[in-house]
Amino acid sequence: MPAREGDTVAVDYTGRLKDGTRFDSSEGRAPLLFTIGAGDVLPMFEQAVIGLEAGESVTVTIPPDEAYGQRVEEAVQVVPVDVFGEGEPPLNAEFNVIADDGQTYTGRVVALSEDRVNVTVDFNHPLAGHELTFEITLAEVVEASGDAS
């Protein structure tokens, strides 16, 4: 039976950037489990799985605007190192900031100034601005939706 909206599915996948660099994969792990239509994965990733039968594969390329958006240079900010408390934050460390409006943003430390006074923080998603290609294999339909349409 082909996968359809509302089904819970298990997929094996590999994600690559345009230059072929692998950024994520289920290899060596359990398959990714999600419900089609629940919004737990990128919409184009979900759509690529619809209609697949167990064992079938598909490759889908997702443009930046349909994935994690374009990179925004204004989302890279230099802040004093002391906002992190005592000690220097490690490079690539992720942390959350709650804005005045209550919105939570995740930032990554991408650089430390030579004088160790300032830290450069990037609030872009690490995959922002990238075209993403996923090779997806439907491992199984774990649980079909209840309707018989």
- Domains of the chain, each with CATH number or no CATH: 8-68+128-143 (3.10.50.40), 73-122 (2.40.10.330)
Average pLDDT, the chain: 93
- pLDDT > 80? residue 43: yes
Among the ranges given (66-70, 79-83, 84-88, 117-121), the one the predictor scored with the smallest mean pLDDT: 84-88
**Residue 141 one-letter amino acid:** V
Closest by CA to 31, choosing from 9, 61, 58, is: 9
Per-residue pLDDT tens digits for 10-41: 999 999 999 999 999 999 999 999 999 999 99
User: What is the average per-residue pLDDT within 108-127?
Assistant: 94
Cα(91)–Cα(128) distance, rounded to whole angstroms? 19
Closest by CA to 121, choosing from 70, 79, 90, is: 79
Q: Is the pTM for the entire model greater than 0.85? A: no
Closest by CA to 34, choosing from 111, 120, 26, is: 26
Cβ pair 63, 134 in contact under 8 A: no
Cβ pair 80, 118 in contact under 8 A: yes
- CA distance from start to end of the chain: 13
Cα(35)–Cα(110) distance, rounded to whole angstroms? 34
